[in-house]
Amino acid sequence: MGGIRILHVGLDTHLGGIETYLMKISSHIDLKKFQFDFLAYDNRKPCFYDELTALGCGFHFVRSRRTNWFGNAHDLRKLLSAEKYDIIHCHLNSLTYITPALEGLRAGSKVIIHSRNGGSASGSSSKILNCINRYRMPWKKVTLAAVSDVAGRWMFGPGRDFIVLNNGLDTSKYRYSEKDRTSVRSELGIPEDREVISSVGAFRTQKNHMFMIDVFAGYHKANPNSTLLLVGEGDLEARIRQKVQQAGVEDSVLFAGRRSDIGAVLSASDKYLFPSFYEGFPNALLEAETSGLLCVSSSTITEQACLDNCIRVSLDSPVSDWVRALENPPVKDRPACVGMVEKAGFGIDSEIKRLENLYTSLLKGAD
């Protein structure tokens, strides 16, 4: 491997949007022109370690800031001084951890701060650290990127220019498949005549599962032949299960756990519910749109990502408004939605081209 050397910061041991994004771009970018390495912590293998290693990507392990802040800074300084990366690409949900960016600048690398989220439900200490680091960051020395306008304004504040790098999809993975629909429904014991409303996302506050259960309970009352399919895992699972019981819909809510065949699960569904409080860029929503599902999303979500088969509803609206939106008929021509997503510029090819141009332009500017 050779070419422009890039160290990516943000890969974790828990699967999320950043991990999925990094695996995706690594699989599609020309790794002969761009050498990808990844930062990892405390000798714990992060998500997609085996897959990325097989692609030829490298890993550097440093001490975690959570266990040893000074050790983390020391390891980073030593690593970046020795490796001399062309670019340090930091994928951040907040500004609580900017040490790699600061040490990258110290080592003479170009640095990209890439905002991956559009809000925060973090505790008070994290919010304070985020605020402090906003003033510590030498903004004029770094390149700013974001997954959406919302994410850029939230992280960087007003008056700062940034590049939007949307989360493009490999749309072929989410094209509607009758075969997958039959297979997944058979596996999960869902009759073919059952209407399935799905949701894919970690069980955490941001995804707003408690409200989701209220909406489904209201919908199910008028549409008893419906099932809510929840794909994901997380710390709030026990509370969500309790909420399901309290709502009296435990026989019509299916917890599918963490799955890798999201495209097939979406094919098995008919509609999609997405009441998140905030998102940097709603990748899961775009996947559902690509599969041709009728999608009902909160209006706080990036408007550009809500395409023709998506209905936006305010989180301040009553549950009845959400139920009414969900009662719209399913999409008739589901395979055609792939073209809709591609035409909107959310395909993987468009994304990779923008990313390659960014990397190349940064190095040209250094000549």
| Domain ranges, ordered by start, for the chain | 4-168+347-364, 171-343
Phi, psi values for residue 169, rounded to 5°:
-110, 150
The whole-number average pLDDT for the span 34-63 is 96
Distance CA 353, CA 29 (A): 9
Tens-digit pLDDT profile for residues 290-348: 999 999 999 988 888 899 999 999 999 999 999 999 999 999 999 999 999 999 888 88
b/e per residue, 88-104, with b = 16+ CB within 10 A?
A: bbbbbbbbbbbbbbbbb
Dihedral of CA atoms 344, 348, 350, 351 in degrees, nearest 10, equals 110
Distance CA 40, CA 37 (A): 10
- Determine how β-strand 253-257 pairs with β-strand 310-313: unpaired
Crossing angle for the helix pair 237-247 and 209-222, to the nearest 10 degrees: 30
What pLDDT shows up at residue 79?
A: 97
SS3 at position 49:
helix
181 CB contacts (<8 Å, ≥6 apart)?
A: 264, 267, 268
Query: Which of 72-76, 160-164, 269-273 has the lowest average pLDDT?
Result: 160-164
Tens-digit pLDDT profile for residues 166-187: 878 889 999 999 999 999 999 9
What pLDDT shows up at residue 121?
A: 57
- State the architecture of 171-343 in CATH terms: 3-Layer(aba) Sandwich (3.40)
pLDDT band at residue 16, thresholds of 50, 70 and 90?
confident
Decide if pLDDT at 48 tops 60. yes
What pLDDT shows up at residue 301?
A: 85
Decide if pLDDT at 2 tops 80. no
CATH number assigned to the domain with residue range 4-168+347-364, chosen from the 4 options 3.40.50.2000, 3.20.20.140, 3.40.50.880, 3.10.180.10: 3.40.50.2000
The whole-number average pLDDT for the span 246-257 is 96
The whole-number average pLDDT for the span 95-112 is 96
pLDDT band at residue 283, thresholds of 50, 70 and 90?
confident
What pLDDT shows up at residue 124?
A: 56
Whole-angstrom CA distances from 103 to 75, 138, 146 are: 10, 12, 21
**Tokens coding 267:** 């094919």
Crossing angle for the helix pair 17-28 and 348-364, to the nearest 10 degrees: 80
What pLDDT shows up at residue 123?
A: 60
Nearest Cα to Cα of residue 133 among 106, 155, 105? 155
Sign of the Cα torsion 226, 232, 236, 239 reads: positive
4-168+347-364 and 171-343: identical CATH topology: yes
Decide if pLDDT at 236 tops 90. yes
Helix (H) or strand (E) holding 65: none
Burial class (CB in 10 A: 0-12, 13-18, 19+), 178: exposed
What pLDDT shows up at residue 256?
A: 95
Distance CA 195, CA 224 (A): 9
Average pLDDT, the chain: 92
The whole-number average pLDDT for the span 268-290 is 93
Decide if pLDDT at 275 tops 70. yes
Decide if pLDDT at 90 tops 60. yes
